[in-house]
Amino acid sequence: MARASDVKATVTSCCFRGDGIWRRNMARSFDDLVADFSSEAGVEPRCTAEEMALHLGIARAAELTRNRPRFVREAVGDLPEDSRDFDWSTLPTSSSRTTMC
């Protein structure tokens, strides 16, 4: 689980202008994406905050794959393999909606 300081370090400085409500909505977007990943429906960001959260998650996953391959193998060892595993370029990262969550 990422610490808040880890996320803040990766969010661009333009996001720091957001108030407490904006930051809560940004945090909620991570939860919404987790729910999407847990369902069979698939993942598509519904707003700018979810799109940012998805970009951050993909970047973190790619970093873990490069820097901690044994950790990643152990974490996903029981999951079925797919030919697109670890191909971060195939994931949807853009939303057709331009709204803020």
The answer to whether residue 44 sits within a structural domain is yes
Return the higher-pLDDT residue of 63 and 3: 63
Return the higher-pLDDT residue of 99 and 79: 79
The answer to whether residue 31 sits within a structural domain is yes
The answer to whether residue 68 sits within a structural domain is yes
The answer to whether residue 38 sits within a structural domain is yes
What is the per-residue pLDDT across 31-78, written as a single tens digit (0 to 9) for each?
998 898 888 777 788 888 888 888 888 888 889 888 998 998 899 888
Residue 48: domain span: 17-78+87-101
Q: How many domains does the chain have?
A: 1
The answer to whether residue 4 sits within a structural domain is no
The answer to whether residue 27 sits within a structural domain is yes
Structure tokens at 78: 């029981």
- Our CA dihedral for 84, 90, 91, 94, rounded to 10 degrees, sits at -170
Closest CA to 86 of 60, 70, 62, 57: 62
Q: Say whether pLDDT at 4 is over 60.
A: no
The answer to whether residue 5 sits within a structural domain is no
Cα distances (Å, whole numbers) of residue 14 to 9, 10, 17, 42:
12, 11, 6, 29
Specify the DSSP class assigned to residue 84.
T
The answer to whether residue 51 sits within a structural domain is yes
Residue range 6-11: mean pLDDT, rounded:
58
